[in-house]
Each structure stands twice: as C-alpha cells, then as structure tokens.
C-alpha cells in the first residue's frame, strides 16, 4: 500500500509509525509532506521515508492520502490538491471538524474516509471512529480499517454525525481523565501524601480500574456499587461528588465539546 501523509505532526507520525510497525507499508512506499524543514528531517531520519514540502508531489502516486494537517491549514491544502487526485485514490482525513462535504467540494474528490483518532494512538492504545462515502470501495474500507486499527481499536459508523459525537467523548476524553488525575493528585498531596507517592497511587488506580472493567466486562455502575460499602469512606466521597453536581458537570463538558466540534465544521 502506497501512502502519502499530508502533514507530519504528532498524529500523522503516530499513524506513520503504526503503519510501519504493523507491516502495512514500507518506508519506500511512503511519502510525507510538511512545511517545516526540521520536521521533515526528523521524519526522514527516524522512518527513512521520502519527505518533501510539496503536497501535490507527495500525493501523486499514492493509494491512500492521509490528511493530518491542522484545521486552519485545510483551505490552502485543498486548493493545492483540488482536481489533482485520481478517482482511485482514497483520502483519509483526521482533521477535527472537517466535514466530508467540505472535503468533497474543496478537493473535487469523492472517495473519502473521515476519522477521529485520539492521543493514545501514539502508543498503539487509541480508539478511532470513522465513516466513509458511498464511493469508497470494499478494498479501500479494508485499507482504512487496517490503518486506523494499527493504532489500537477502530469503530466504523454509518452516519457522519457520530464523528462529532466521538470527538467530544473519545477525541477530547483523554484530557478529561488527565484533569481528573491532576486534581486527584493535588487532593492527595493536600491531605499529606508526598507528590511522588500520590502520582503513583493515582496512576495505578486509574490503570487498574480500566483493566478491571475490561476484564470483568461489567457496567461501570455495577462496579461502582461493588466498591461502595454503605456508610463507608467511598460512599462518603461519592456523596461529595454528587453534591457538587459531578455527573451534570460532565454532561455539560461533553455537550460543550460536541457543540464546538459542530461549529468547526459549519
């Protein structure tokens, strides 16, 4: 599979690394375009791929064109690539908020996959939600699934509306967990734990809880009830979260991210 990466940022690098690690392509079959010379040199030295500052040249002979640029760069890149892509080429976009119709009009191209990966993809533990236009062939869907699956797990959805929803949950979600961990570490230090001990306790509590729910395959509410003894310390702690409107605040958080994702695509 010949793959062109338009944009060599962190997520583009994550996909590139995963593709090579899983043997989906070879360095000789990959080209990367990026506006930064230092970034191009870094990617060339690390992955032995062809690098350039010309998007058209990078995309010219590829089977898959991965758009891994920032949203503010999209208009210029689409103008550069418009009418230059072959009907047989697949465009795989991971640009937050960029709707399929926008990509279709801007690129004058129909075979498009829109995906939303998340940052754990950088270590092969991500999850990506994606959808495809009707013009994407069965083989091209297999390509997209294998590329996104190389970074962790992937979920195909039949309606593009779910991409913005996934953006608010799994796309932004790691930041929610990081903030929760940060606050829990601060609270642990406040009651007297050394920072390094607090960090380890919070980190492994979070990891262990994730592994537990995965292994037991139970609903979070059931596991929460299992951990919470009536009149115990956990019950007292959860009561404070309820008083503070924790669930409602989280709902507002996800809705704010979802609405922002929709506005980015308007």
Comparing C-alpha atoms, which of 66, 39, 70, 68 is closest to residue 52? 39
Cα three-residue angle 130-262-120, rounded to 5 degrees: 45
Domain boundary among 128, 158, 188: 158
* 52 and 142 fall within a common domain: yes
* 33 and 78 fall within a common domain: yes
**Residue 242 tokens, joined:** 């309820």
* 26 and 52 fall within a common domain: yes
167 domain-assigned: no
* 141 and 200 fall within a common domain: no
**Per-residue confidence (pLDDT) for residue 9, from 0 to 100:** 84
* 113 and 60 fall within a common domain: yes
What is the phi/psi pair of residue 229, to 5°? -85, 135
CA 46 to chain centre: 22
Comparing C-alpha atoms, which of 85, 155, 100 is closest to residue 133? 100
Report residues of the chain scoring pLDDT below 50: none
* 70 and 147 fall within a common domain: yes
168 domain-assigned: no
* 54 and 143 fall within a common domain: yes
Comparing C-alpha atoms, which of 110, 128, 106, 111 is closest to residue 119? 128
Number of domains in the chain: 2
CATH number of the domain within which 92 lies: 3.40.50.720
Report pLDDT digits (tens) over 92-145. Answer: 999 988 999 999 999 999 999 999 999 999 999 999 999 999 999 999 999 999
* C-beta of residue 155 within 8 angstroms of C-beta of residue 127: yes
**Full residue range of the structural domain in which residue 28 is found:** 3-158
* 151 and 211 fall within a common domain: no
Q: Which residues have a Cβ under 8 Å from the Cβ of 62 and sit 6 or more positions away?
A: 2, 3, 4, 31, 89
**Per-residue confidence (pLDDT) for residue 266, from 0 to 100:** 66
Which position has the token pair 């899983």? 22
**Per-residue confidence (pLDDT) for residue 123, from 0 to 100:** 92
Q: Which residues have a Cβ under 8 Å from the Cβ of 109 and sit 6 or more positions away?
A: 85, 87, 89, 91, 103
């Amino acid at each position: 599979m010949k793959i062109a990466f338009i944009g060599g940022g962190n997520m583009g690098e994550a996909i590139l690394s995963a593709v090579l690690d899983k043997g989906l392509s070879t360095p000789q079959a990959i080209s990367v375009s990026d506006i930064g010379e230092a970034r191009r040199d870094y990617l060339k030295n690390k992955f032995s791929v062809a690098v350039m500052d010309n998007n058209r040249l990078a995309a010219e002979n590829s089977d898959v064109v991965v758009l891994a640029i920032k949203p503010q760069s999209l208009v210029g890149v689409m103008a550069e690539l418009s009418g230059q892509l072959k009907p047989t080429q697949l465009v795989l976009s991971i640009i937050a908020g960029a709707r399929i119709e926008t990509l279709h009009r801007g690129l004058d191209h129909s075979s498009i996959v829109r995906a939303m990966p998340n940052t754990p993809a950088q270590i092969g533990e991500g999850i990506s939600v994606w959808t495809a236009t009707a013009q994407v062939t069965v083989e091209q869907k297999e390509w997209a699934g294998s590329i996104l699956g190389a970074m962790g797990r992937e979920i195909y959805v039949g309606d593009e509306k779910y991409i913005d929803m996934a953006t608010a949950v799994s796309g932004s979600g790691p930041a929610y967990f990081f903030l929760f961990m940060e606050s829990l570490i601060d609270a642990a230090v406040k009651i007297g734990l050394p920072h390094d001990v607090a960090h380890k306790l919070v980190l492994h509590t979070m990891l262990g809880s994730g592994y537990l729910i995965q292994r037991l395959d139970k609903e979070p509410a059931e596991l929460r009830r299992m951990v919470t003894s009536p009149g115990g310390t956990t019950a007292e702690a959860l009561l404070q979260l309820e008083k503070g409107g924790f669930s409602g605040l989280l709902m507002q958080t996800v809705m704010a991210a979802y609405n922002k994702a929709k506005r980015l695509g308007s």
